[in-house]
Amino acid sequence: MTRLLTALVMVLAVVAQRPAGAVVTGSIFGPGSQSFPIAVVPLRALGGDPGGRIGQEFARALSRDLQLSGYFKLLDPATFVEKPDSVGLTAAETDFVGWAAVGASEVVKGGVLVAGDQVTVEVRMFDVPGRRDVPEVGRRFSGSRGEVGRMAHKTADRILEVLTGERGPFDSRIALTSTRGGRLKEVYTYAFDQDAPTKVTTVRSIVVGPHWRPDLRSILFASYEQHQPRLYQVDLLTRGVRPVIPKGVFLNGAWSPDGTRLLVTREIAGNSDIYLYDAGGSEIRRLTDHWGIDVSPAWAPDGRRFVFCSARAGSPQIYVLDVGGGDPRRVSHAGSYNTSPAWSPKGDTVAWATRGAGGFQIVVQPLDGEPRTITERGSNEDPSWSPDGRYLVFSSTRAGRQTLWMADREGRTQNELTGGVGGDSSPAWSPRTE
């Protein structure tokens, strides 16, 4: 009888224990609610990291990702009850009482060991009320010095997965065009731990509309390098640039999610229409045939439909069409100028830019639902979805010059991503790096 009672008590104890950050679903919980007060302690230097620089770099990148996600309140390091040079890496060595007193719900800490160019990072997350290590987050990473940023992004994405049920998007990159290196735009890439984007092309002409190939090995863009705009791709390893479609004038293009086909805007005799091409550069079929402007195709994640911008009804609006052809169906019903659509990787939701009095604002709308405007300051253009479908990156002029900003799909969080001199445009958020 006592055995049964003991078993019962044990079962109740397990059931009653608050799991670390129980997954909460529902619309009241989302980015912008800042639900989790979290402390990110710089990694303890276990050897080979003089001054703890790598440990700080990891913490800084992780903190920024968590802050951008909109789910966290990052605690001020001045209040930390454990210091980087003396943190313990186990629950037994964690001052849960102290952390609770400063308001932390989660604590992230760990250590870093450097030997030559090999960096080993051990990171753990502790649930403060539960007084325990959260094993789903704990991980050891091994890599080169240059991969520390990605280690932080993978940790952030994992923390988000455990606490929100959805893996985070930060182990990814953004392609963009920018004039920050000169008068004329070039293609750049940006990772979330960078201070500024990295230049990828030196075309010295006009470049527009960068789009990732799904294997992340190259970026597609239109360039006037050969006088008329054409589609090219730049190999990210070699930085070599080569044409994608040998003949014709093309204003933009986008790879299908499986990387085998391209939707492109082709211009003939002043008129722009959407075409489907294969990866080898051969035309598969013409998809629009209208005297009105048809431009900016964006694939659905199922690879069978796409949205695009058409002025066939007299003003630019968003339409959806099957990749097999047919009659486009109108998607945008409010406003007189709707353009630059992007289809969420998760479900039938589309974002685009709508023109208002002061400039462009970003709109998010389920395909057959109601639009929601998620920006209001400055002029905001060219939205692109995060791989988890929760966020959008776009260009914005609200900070005085054009830089990239990130917002969650409901617009509750808005954060500047690239700063500095700006001149950034046309962002494209890559799939996750692996």
Partner 1 sequence: MRSVGWWSWMLVAVLCAPLAGGCKKQGPSPEDGVGGPDGAGALGEEGVGGGGAGGAGGSSLARAQQGLSPEEDGVLRDVPFGYDSYELEGEAGDAVERNLRWLRENPRAKVEIEGHCDNRGTIEYNLALGAKRAGSVKDHLVEQGIDATRLSTISYGKELPVCSEETEACWVRNRRAHLVVLGR
Identified binder of partner 1 from the candidate list 108, 159, 353, 364, rule CB under 8 A: 353
Nearer to partner 1, 69 or 425 (CB): 425
Q: Binding string to partner 1 for residues 260 to 279, with x set by CB under 8 A, is what?
A: -----x-xxxxxx-------
* Encoded amino acid at 308, one letter: F
Give the max Cα distance, the chain: 90
Closest CA to 328 of 355, 293, 352: 293
Dist. CA 217–CA 113, nearest whole Å:
31
Q: Binding string to partner 1 for residues 359 to 388, with x set by CB under 8 A, is what?
A: xx--------------------xx------
Q: Residue 239, interface with partner 1 (CB under 8 A)?
A: no
Q: Shortest distance, CB of residue 79 to partner 1, whole angstroms?
A: 44
Provide CB contacts within 8 A for 113, sequence distance 6+. 46, 47, 48, 49, 119, 120, 122
Among 82-90, 154-162, 182-190, 326-334, the segment contacting partner 1 (CB under 8 A): 182-190
Identified binder of partner 1 from the candidate list 95, 225, 322, 410, rule CB under 8 A: 225
Provide CB contacts within 8 A for 394, sequence distance 6+. 353, 362, 375, 380, 381, 382, 383, 384, 404, 405, 407, 427
* Encoded amino acid at 376, one letter: E
Q: Shortest distance, CB of residue 271 to partner 1, whole angstroms?
A: 7
Using DSSP bridges, classify how beta strands 198-199 and 305-310 pair: parallel, antiparallel or unpaired. unpaired
Residues 316-345 contacting partner 1, CB under 8 A: 316, 337, 339-340
Q: Residue 433, interface with partner 1 (CB under 8 A)?
A: no
Q: Shortest distance, CB of residue 69 to partner 1, whole angstroms?
A: 28
Q: Residue 65, interface with partner 1 (CB under 8 A)?
A: no
Query: Strand 403-408's sheet: what is its strand order?
Result: 380-385, 391-396, 403-408, 414-416
Q: Residue 14, interface with partner 1 (CB under 8 A)?
A: no
Q: Which residues pair with 361 in a beta bridge?
A: 354
Which phi and psi (to 5°) does residue 215 adopt?
-85, 5
Among 4-12, 138-146, 190-198, 227-235, the segment contacting partner 1 (CB under 8 A): 227-235
Nearer to partner 1, 338 or 344 (CB): 338
Q: Residue 105, interface with partner 1 (CB under 8 A)?
A: no
Would you tell me the crossing angle of helices 148-164 and 53-69 to the nearest 10 degrees?
Answer: 40
Query: Can you give the binding site for partner 1, defined by CB under 8 A?
Result: 183-185, 204-206, 208-209, 224-229, 247-249, 251-252, 265, 267-272, 293-296, 309, 315-316, 337, 339-340, 353, 355, 359-360, 381-382, 425-426
